[in-house]
């Protein structure tokens, strides 16, 4: 029996790492011929050391998934020879800002020599696993396609977003590289664009914030996708038939495998003893589908003025609520992921917590999957990150969209206008990626109206979301569309070994 060893290289942020882990687990559970080594870049202020260690300690649960920690370029690690890092780090490499140790895509190419050495030492020479079958690289780690080529194995891209975005990226990349069109000219807030993966014309403000940048960025990654053997997409045929079919319009592209929804239902990092239990206990005491859950992802924060508008909107709606609030680090703190407020009364309207004590609860970090799965939750006010969107669909919870950054405005447009699976609070929130804040407020009356709409609907969107929940679950079952596509991917990987 041919054993296939795949090297997974995820982007070291929660929104990309968790789907990669879920994908790895699904592969080894599906076929005993597959084993996987996951290379995790440890950025201490983004992926906590405890989380990275939990990955390693959990590995024995499935002996065909191994984890290798790669320290960030300017840090030491007991698990890896520091001299190896120094020997394989170019002198002109992009070093992380000492004040900002968050992930920077420009750093990825400077890990290539280190990754190659790890794979040669721990996979090829050790013979402890199967035959090296290829690399599965995150959508932002395309530089690692070079390492796969040097090792004479194929590469596959794990596209953790949806097919609509993938098709759009190929569209703009083709305009730029095949037709010589300067896509930066589309930066006009008054225009709407025809994009093959969307039935409706897309307003400029729905485009991902950097998709039309002159410096390449995501367009350069997209160009490299064409070098891969295949692209695993976190979607399913029944959710995005139109965008998936549109992918045939872009000439030579790799095989596309819609294998979603890829959801990490275990969420290893969501086990805070006591804290999670207290949240779930509170939900246990609430009526069925009565609670609106507000959460804006691992990076979502708001200025105090906006928090007060949200609070007023919640209070006026009269609905029960569970609201996750976090803040940006202060100037005196190390730059890193959002933190919890020291005193919520300082940032919320006077008396709000007291007046709503019987119907609501404000929390910091939220065990999102556990909350969405609870029958008391009736709606989800969300930033519409793709992971959160798939989780809401999985549990049949309708969404009110409030996108903040990256591709979230496009997700909101798709969910509201293309699929009819969400209602909007706002789809064009003017978020500044650098300042981490918005230039305008969403007023309380807008928030109140959206919450009333998404909570009070009995049919329409709520019914469609429930139907899509059932369809998504069936897609992963034997006989389902994603089950079939995953099987086809595994067979292609095995076949590519013999080639």
- Residue-wise pLDDT tens digits, 9-47: 999 888 899 899 999 999 999 999 999 999 988 665 455
Does the domain at residues 4-265+478-498 carry the CATH identifier 3.40.50.2000? yes
pLDDT category at 61 given cuts 50, 70, 90 is very low
The Cα–Cα gap between 139 and 8 comes to 12
Asked if residue 37 lies in contact with residue 56, where contact means CB atoms within 8 angstroms, the answer is no
The Cα–Cα gap between 342 and 332 comes to 15
Mean pLDDT of the chain: 85
Mean pLDDT across 299-304? 90
Give which of 175, 138, 142 is closest to 251, Cα–Cα. Answer: 175
Does the domain at residues 275-472 carry the CATH identifier 3.40.50.2000? yes
Cα distances from 326 to residues 128, 298, 354, 363, in angstroms, run: 44, 9, 20, 9
Give which of 496, 296, 320 is closest to 408, Cα–Cα. Answer: 296
State the pLDDT at residue 234: 98
State the pLDDT at residue 186: 85
Residues 6+ apart with CB under 8 A from 322: 279, 282, 283, 291, 292, 293, 294, 360, 361, 363, 366, 371, 377
Across the strands, what pairs with 10? none
The Cα–Cα gap between 357 and 314 comes to 12
State the pLDDT at residue 460: 80
* E strand or H helix that includes residue 441: none
Of 4-18, 124-138, 329-343, 385-399, the range with the lowest mean pLDDT is: 329-343
Mean pLDDT across 417-421? 95
State the pLDDT at residue 129: 58
C-alpha dihedral sign at 303, 48, 232, 22: negative
State the pLDDT at residue 44: 52
Mean pLDDT across 459-474? 93
Residue with tokens 């793709």: 386
State the pLDDT at residue 53: 58
Of 316-325, 340-349, 409-418, the range with the lowest mean pLDDT is: 340-349
Q: Where in the chain is the domain with CATH 3.40.50.2000?
A: 4-265+478-498, 275-472
Whether residue 68 is preceded by a cis peptide bond, meaning omega within 30 degrees of 0, is no
pLDDT category at 72 given cuts 50, 70, 90 is low
């Amino acid at each position: 029996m041919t054993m296939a060893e795949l090297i997974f290289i995820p982007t070291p942020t929660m929104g990309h790492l968790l789907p990669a882990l879920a994908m790895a687990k699904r592969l080894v559970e599906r076929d005993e011929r597959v084993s996987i080594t996951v290379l995790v870049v440890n950025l201490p202020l983004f992926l906590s050391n405890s989380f990275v260690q939990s990955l390693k300690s959990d590995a024995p649960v499935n002996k065909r998934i191994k984890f290798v920690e790669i320290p960030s370029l300017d840090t030491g690690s007991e698990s890896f020879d520091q001299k190896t890092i120094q020997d394989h780090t170019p002198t002109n490499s992009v070093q992380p800002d000492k004040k900002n140790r968050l992930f920077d895509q420009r750093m990825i190419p400077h890990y290539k020599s280190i990754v190659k050495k790890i794979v040669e030492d721990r996979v090829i020479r050790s013979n402890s696993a199967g035959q090296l079958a290829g690399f599965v690289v995150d959508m932002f780690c395309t530089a690692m396609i070079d390492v796969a080529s040097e090792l004479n194995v194929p590469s596959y891209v794990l596209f953790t977003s949806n097919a609509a975005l993938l098709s759009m990226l190929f569209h703009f990349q083709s305009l730029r590289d095949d037709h010589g069109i300067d896509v930066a000219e589309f930066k006009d807030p008054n225009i709407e664009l025809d994009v093959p993966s969307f039935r409706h014309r897309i307003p400029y403000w729905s485009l991902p914030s950097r998709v039309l940048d002159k410096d390449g960025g995501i367009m350069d990654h997209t160009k490299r996708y064409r070098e891969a053997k295949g692209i695993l997409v976190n979607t399913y045929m029944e959710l995005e038939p139109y965008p998936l079919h549109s992918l045939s319009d872009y000439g030579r592209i790799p095989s596309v495998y819609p294998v979603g929804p890829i959801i990490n239902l275990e969420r290893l990092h969501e086990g805070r003893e006591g804290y999670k239990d207290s949240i779930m206990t509170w939900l246990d005491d609430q009526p069925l589908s009565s609670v609106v859950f507000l959460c804006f992802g691992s990076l979502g924060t708001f200025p105090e003025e906006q928090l007060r508008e949200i609070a007023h909107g919640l209070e006026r709606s009269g609905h029960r609520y569970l609201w996750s609030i976090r803040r940006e680090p202060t100037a005196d703190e190390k730059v890193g992921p959002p933190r919890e407020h020291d005193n919520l009364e300082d940032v919320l309207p006077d008396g709000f917590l007291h007046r709503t004590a019987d119907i609501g609860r404000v929390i910091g970090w939220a065990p999102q999957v556990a909350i969405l799965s609870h029958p008391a939750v009736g709606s989800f006010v969300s930033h519409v990150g793709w992971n959160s969107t798939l989780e809401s669909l999985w549990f049949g919870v309708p969404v009110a969209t409030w996108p903040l950054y990256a591709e979230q405005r496009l997700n909101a447009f798709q969910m509201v206008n293309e699929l009819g699976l969400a209602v909007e609070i706002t789809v064009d929130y003017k978020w500044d990626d650098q300042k981490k804040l918005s230039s305008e407020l969403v007023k309380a009356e807008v928030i109140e109206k959206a919450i009333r709409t998404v909570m009070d609907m009995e049919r329409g969107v709520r019914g469609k979301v429930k139907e899509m929940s059932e369809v998504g679950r069936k897609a992963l079952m034997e006989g389902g569309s994603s089950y079939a596509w995953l099987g086809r991917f595994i067979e292609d990987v095995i076949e590519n070994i013999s080639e």
